[in-house]
Amino acid sequence: MNPRPDRGEAADACAAAPPVNQAGVYLTDGIFLYRVDHVLMTGAGEMADIEDCYRLGVVRVLVNDLRARRLRVVTPDARRQAGGTATCLTSAM
């Protein structure tokens, strides 16, 4: 018997997704793409420097604000990378 209830494929992908407070993670809201460049602790809390992958600007935001925006984590598609072609991003959530 499986002790973990069946949550479906989407829930499993969500559980396996890297956290938003990890450098190198890509995030999307479905329109824009961001990359977490750096994470640090400040007096205001955990902060992340995120890069807008289209405009190439970097801004510092609270990690809790990133979580509140419900951005999806996306990861490079290994099948595309193995062939040496352009990277394709697939949703991990």
Any idea which residue has 């205001």 for tokens?
44
* Gap between the Cα atoms of 57 and 41, Å rounded: 21
What pLDDT tens digit does each residue of the chain (93 aa) get? 445 545 454 444 444 556 778 888 999 989 999 999 999 998 888 999 999 999 999 999 999 998 888 888 888 666 555 554 333 344 443
List alpha helices for 1-93, DSSP H. 9-16, 63-68, 78-82
d(CA 81, CA 84): 5
- Amino acid letter, 82: A
pTM higher than 0.85: no
pLDDT of 44: 86
What would the two tokens of residue 8 be? 């479906």
Instruction: Indicate the SS3 state at residue 67.
Output: helix
Give the pLDDT of residue 89.
41
pLDDT for position 11: 44
Query: What is the domain partition of the chain in residue ranges?
Result: 9-91
